[in-house]
Structure 1
C-alpha cells in the first residue's frame, strides 16, 4: 500500500476516534455538581493556544485557561478563593472551548496541585444556565447524599429512600433537584416554582 495513502487512512481513523470518543451523555445538573471536585463562577481572561497540527500518534497538547474566580460554590481541593486567578486545564483529547472574557460556570476534577475540565464536566456560560439550576446553586440546595437513579424507557425505574429516579431525555427533572424530606428520611424531587406544573405531569406518568 502506498505510504501516503496509509498515512491519510491513519489520520482519518485517528480523527474519527477523537470525534466518537469525545461524546458525553449528560445527566442531571445535580449529578454534575456532586461529581465535581470544584464548582465556580469565573471570567476567562486568557488561554494558551494548542498546537494546530500534530504528527500521527503524538498526544494533543492541552489548553490552559486563566480564570478570575467570582464565586465558589464547591471546593474539595481547598485551593480556590473568590477574587483570585486560577488555571484550569482541559483534558488532552476531549477538551472544551471557552471564550475569552466569557462569564462561565465551571466544574470538574482537581486537587491542590491542579484543576481540570472536560466535555463531561461543567462548562456553561452563566447567562445560559437554567433558572432552576441557578437557584439551586445560589441557595445551596443540592444534596449530594441523595443519588439520582437513571433508567431507560424499557427499564422499571426504581429508587430507594436515598435516591430519586429519572428517565433519560426528560426535561421536567431538569427543573427540579433531589433532596431529603424535612425530617431527612427520604430523598425526593423538589421543583422550582416556575416548573411545578410541568413536573407534576411528569411525576404522574412515571409513577403510574
Structure 2
C-alpha cells in the first residue's frame, strides 16, 4: 500500500490543529496582564510623560519577513515625569510604537498620560503599560506624579485573600483587587526609613478603614 497510513494522516491533522490553537491562545493571552498599583506601573516604565497625540500612521510591518505589525503615534510632550532613555524633552515631538496584537488605540488631539518600555533607539507602549487620558486620571495618581511622590526603592507586595503577607521595611502590602490603596502611594518614612502607605487627602477616610480592617498590626 503506497502513501502515508490513514492513521498517521489523522494524527498529523490533529497536531496541526492543536498547534494553531496554541498559537492563537498565545497571541491572545500573551497580551494580557494583571493590573497592579499605579506606582508599580510608574516604576516599571522606562519613560512616563503627559502628551497630546497629534498623528498616527497606518499599521506597517516592523521588520521584513516579520508578521508583527506596528502603529507609530506622534506625540507632543507637555510634561516629563520620568525618562530613563535620556531622549525626551518637554515641548518636543516624539514617536511611540505600539505593536499588534498587543497594541493600544490612542485618539488624536487627546491629552494622555503615557509610559512604557524604551531606550535611546525608540519608545514603546502596549496593553500592560500606561495609557490613560489625563482628564480621567484619579486625583491621587495625578497628585503623586505632579509632586514626585513615588519612591521606586519601595516595593509593593500583592497578597491574595488567603495569603499572609510578610512584613518588610522595604515594601507596602496590598490586598488583591482592593481599591483603597489606589488612593495612596508607598514611600519611606522620614525618620524610621520604613516603607509604608501614605494616602491622598481626598481618600483619607477610605484608606484609614482599609488599613484598620485588612492589615491590622
TM-score by length of 2: 0.85
**2:45 is aligned with 1:36:** yes
Match of 1:141 among 146, 149, 153: 149
What is the CA deviation profile of residues 18-52 of structure 1, one whole-angstrom value per residue up to 9, with x for unaligned ones?
Answer: 3333211100000000111100000011111226x
Alignment of 1:1-208 (within 5 A): 14-50=23-59, 59-183=67-191, 185-208=193-216
Equivalent pair of 2:54/2:76 in contact (CA under 8 Å): yes
Per the TM alignment, residue 100 of structure 1 is displaced from its structure 2 partner at its CA by: 1.2
Number of residue pairs matched?
Answer: 201
Q: CA RMSD in A?
A: 2.3
**Aligned partners of 2:175, 2:201: CA distance in 1, in Å?**
21
Equivalent pair of 1:95/1:118 in contact (CA under 8 Å): yes
**Aligned partners of 1:20, 1:156: CA distance in 2, in Å?**
28
Unaligned runs of at least 5 residues, structure 2? 1-8, 10-15
Change (3 A) 1:184 1:85: farther
Per the TM alignment, residue 140 of structure 1 is displaced from its structure 2 partner at its CA by: 0.4
**Aligned partners of 2:76, 2:32: CA distance in 1, in Å?**
28
Change (3 A) 1:205 1:90: same
TM-score by length of 1: 0.88
What is the CA deviation profile of residues 59-111 of structure 1, one whole-angstrom value per residue up to 9, with x for unaligned ones?
Answer: 23111111000000001111000000000111343111111111100001111
Unaligned runs of at least 5 residues, structure 1? 2-6, 52-56
**Consecutive aligned runs of 4 or more in structure 1 exceeding 3 Å deviation:** 7-17
Per the TM alignment, residue 152 of structure 1 is displaced from its structure 2 partner at its CA by: 0.6
Equivalent pair of 2:31/2:128 in contact (CA under 8 Å): no
Equivalent pair of 2:172/2:197 in contact (CA under 8 Å): yes
